[in-house]
């Protein structure tokens, strides 16, 4: 459920920001910005992305989260200045660019961690699962994967048909005889 992922994102954000505050890893210029980061970025944005993980796959979610994190960190660097490192170093240069890239990758991990925590809490909350329920869950997951693959297959088939039409048009324009398609047995 969406709200559970958002709540887990808020909890994760609160934990991360508390640790950062205790160890003075970074500091926010105003305390309200901590709330915006925890509720907005960790909870709403990353929690929402976490709900997409089962359908979209971890790589897509990771990629989108990295891009979102990169945009957020670049915006903070150029315009926002919501947070800074407390070491007194200027927030520009190669060091800062490397930190922005590192933070963007770490943002990519956040929705995946939320999704895994959601699964763990769900298992804990439901208690032990009977073997029948486990098989039913596996069957449902496989059906979802199958549906995704069938959609991808339809897309590939449509692209193949379009490519074949394009090839036939080009052959007609050139006035050459159509080339025979080789079967998989002939190409082996």
Mind listing the pLDDT tens digit for each residue in 19-74? Answer: 999 998 888 989 999 999 999 999 999 999 999 998 899 999 999 999 999 999 99
CB 114 within 8 A of CB 120: no
CB 78 within 8 A of CB 28: no
**Domain coordinates in residue numbering, the chain:** 2-127, 129-175
Residues 109-136: tens digit of each pLDDT? 999 999 999 988 887 777 777 888 889 9
Residue that has been written with the tokens 């999704």 in this structure: 115
For residue 62 the two structure tokens come to 């990771």
CB 115 within 8 A of CB 55: no
Instruction: State the Cα–Cα distance between residues 59 and 112, nearest whole angstrom.
Output: 9
DSSP code at position 46: I
């Amino acid at each position: 459920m969406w709200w559970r992922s958002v709540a887990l994102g808020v909890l994760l954000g609160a934990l991360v920001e508390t640790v950062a505050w205790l160890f003075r890893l970074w500091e926010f210029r105003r305390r309200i910005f901590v709330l915006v980061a925890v509720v907005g970025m960790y909870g709403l944005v990353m929690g929402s992305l976490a709900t997409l993980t089962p359908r979209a796959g971890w790589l897509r979610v990771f990629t989108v989260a990295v891009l979102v994190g990169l945009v957020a960190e670049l915006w903070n660097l150029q315009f926002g200045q919501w947070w800074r490192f407390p070491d007194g170093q200027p927030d520009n240069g190669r060091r800062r660019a490397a930190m922005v890239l590192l933070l963007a990758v770490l943002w990519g991990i956040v929705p995946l961690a939320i999704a895994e925590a959601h699964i763990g809490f769900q298992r804990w909350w439901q208690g032990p699962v009977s073997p029948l329920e486990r098989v039913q869950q596996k069957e449902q997951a496989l059906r979802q994967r199958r549906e995704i693959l069938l959609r991808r297959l339809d897309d590939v088939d449509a692209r193949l048909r379009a490519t074949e039409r394009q090839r036939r048009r080009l052959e007609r324009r050139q006035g050459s005889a159509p080339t025979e398609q080789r079967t998989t047995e002939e190409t082996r």
